[in-house]
Amino acid sequence: MRTVETDILVIGSGAGGAVTAAALSAAGRSVTVVEEGPWVDPDAHEPLSLDEMVAKYRHRGASAALGAPPVAFAEGRCVGGSTEINSGLWHRLPPDLSEEWRGRYRIEDFTPSTLDRYAERIEAELTVSKLPGAPPPSSAVLERGAIKLDWRAVEFARVVSYDGSGRGTKQTMARTLIPKAVSAGARLIPDCRVVKLLREGDRVVGARCRRHPEDGFVEDLTIRADHVFVCGGAIHSPALLQRSGFRANIGPGLKLHPTIKIAARFPHPVDHRDVPMHRITEFAPNLTIGGSASRRGHVAMALAESSAEHAKDMDGWEHIGVYYAAIRSEAAGRVVAVPGLRSPVVTYRLTEADLSRLARGLIHLGEALLAAGATELYPSVTGAPVVRRPDELAGWWDTVTRTRANLMTVHMTSTVRIGEDRSRTGADSYGRVWGTTNLRVNDAALLPDAPGVNPQAAIMAIAARNCDHFLANA
């Protein structure tokens, strides 16, 4: 078996892994990044297409947290991780949340000003900007609905750089921090899954990996390292740690933003190329209203989830956009690695209060869409009626049940929470796994709770802060 030696092993190349690799290699450390998924040219696939799902998503986009109702979720599995497939919406961690988490979990150096300093640094490095011109119709719908109802709405900045003609390019990790790490000397090994970490007492001395590139030649590999950063995301980081014998507070406490949808028909065509940039923030952070991917397939799926007369209702699909209401949920889930299974089992049990929040979110979303001029609303609730007027919306209230609501999420966090309170956390304030001297987690798993906003900015700011702490101390 081939053995590779490195100072620092980074497992996973998404939002957390790319920041880690770029920061540590820029400081002159010898870094090896191992990524389970393939390298995929960021321009090779039409964004939001089926081709893209096959090439870049884990399980081609079909994963679910088991429960009643189940919550479907999606993750990236390629160099750049979920940043290659996400919408790039950028929102710093709200200061009241960082203050709350700092107190509750006793997290050192976690003030809003510290996190803002790191967020600013990353924003300058990646280019985070707003649209140079007017929003597309799918996004303007949200702004229009909010204005009519006298609710707050904002255009979110995105991790997108615009050229002189207004054409935007999403600044994914495969376009930015991964090439930066490689030019600073980092070695990138795609198509390579870390199966297990190798332990010697309180140290991790490396990892056992399996390379499986597209040509089909499988290679088992041992990577020996002085320091290991696990950045596989909130589902796969705890699974790898559990497979390697680390279990204390590793895997429980999973948080999601459960999301319910409406397919809304308008009298005018809606653009389908991009995801809307506007959000209705009137009820944030506990409830956020926004727009989803709305390609033909997404519209068909959304109509199917509502039990619409699918074939008939797809007529004029160009006039239909898909929108969502996402909640901060009081429930928690769990990630459990099962011997013999490649992927962990993920569970999440919504509370009754969560279901009420989702019902309220669905009705508010319906109000906004009707106020914006929608003529027909199809909710992602099996058998719920199609709504055409505001006075019909209340009829949805009793339909959002465990057996009828169709939910999804793309934000998973909190399976290895940070903080000095060892009874509630899996890692110290800077991501070092309790009971180890040289094993760190540096990704979405560290957030102590769901942030109520898109999480990439918070994940990257916390990861950059942890790297500075590591460089100053190790």
Ligand X SMILES: Cc1cc2nc3c(=O)[nH]c(=O)nc-3n(C[C@H](O)[C@H](O)[C@H](O)COP(=O)(O)OP(=O)(O)OC[C@H]3O[C@@H](n4cnc5c(N)ncnc54)[C@H](O)[C@@H]3O)c2cc1C
Distance (Å) of CA 340 to CA 59, 195, 343, 345, 379 = 17, 11, 9, 12, 38
- 91 flagged as catalytic: no
Minimum CB distance to ligand X, residue 315 (Å): 28
Minimum CB distance to ligand X, residue 396 (Å): 26
Nearer to ligand X, 62 or 394 (CB): 62
Minimum CB distance to ligand X, residue 187 (Å): 14
Distance (Å, rounded) from C-alpha 385 to C-alpha 306?
A: 8
Minimum CB distance to ligand X, residue 13 (Å): 6
Distance (Å) of CA 35 to CA 13, 51, 81 = 6, 20, 8
Minimum CB distance to ligand X, residue 342 (Å): 10
Nearer to ligand X, 281 or 307 (CB): 281
Distance (Å, rounded) from C-alpha 5 to C-alpha 224?
A: 5
- What is the maximum alpha-carbon separation in the chain? 68
Amino acid, single-letter form, for residue 383? G
Token code pair at residue 394: 């209340």
Distance (Å, rounded) from C-alpha 206 to C-alpha 196?
A: 9
Distance (Å, rounded) from C-alpha 205 to C-alpha 201?
A: 10
In this chain, which residue has its C-beta nearest to ligand X? Answer: 14
Contact predicate 56/76, CB 8 Å:
yes
3-state secondary structure of 240: helix
Annotated active-site residue in 227, 257, 411, 469: 411
Strand pairing class (333-336; 439-441):
unpaired
Nearer to ligand X, 6 or 307 (CB): 6
Nearer to ligand X, 231 or 362 (CB): 231
Q: List residues near ligand X by CB under 6 A.
A: 11-17, 34-37, 74-78, 81-83, 85-89, 193-194, 231-234, 236, 240, 410-411, 443-444, 454-456, 459
Distance (Å, rounded) from C-alpha 65 to C-alpha 73?
A: 7
Nearer to ligand X, 307 or 456 (CB): 456
**Would residue 196 be called left, alpha or beta, if left means φ above 0 and alpha means ψ between -120 and 50 degrees?**
beta
Minimum CB distance to ligand X, residue 458 (Å): 8
Enumerate the β-bridge partners of residue 129.
158
b/e code 25-50 from CB counts within 10 Å (16+ = b): bbeebebbbbbbbbbbebeebebbee
Nearer to ligand X, 212 or 349 (CB): 212
Which residues form the catalytic set? 411
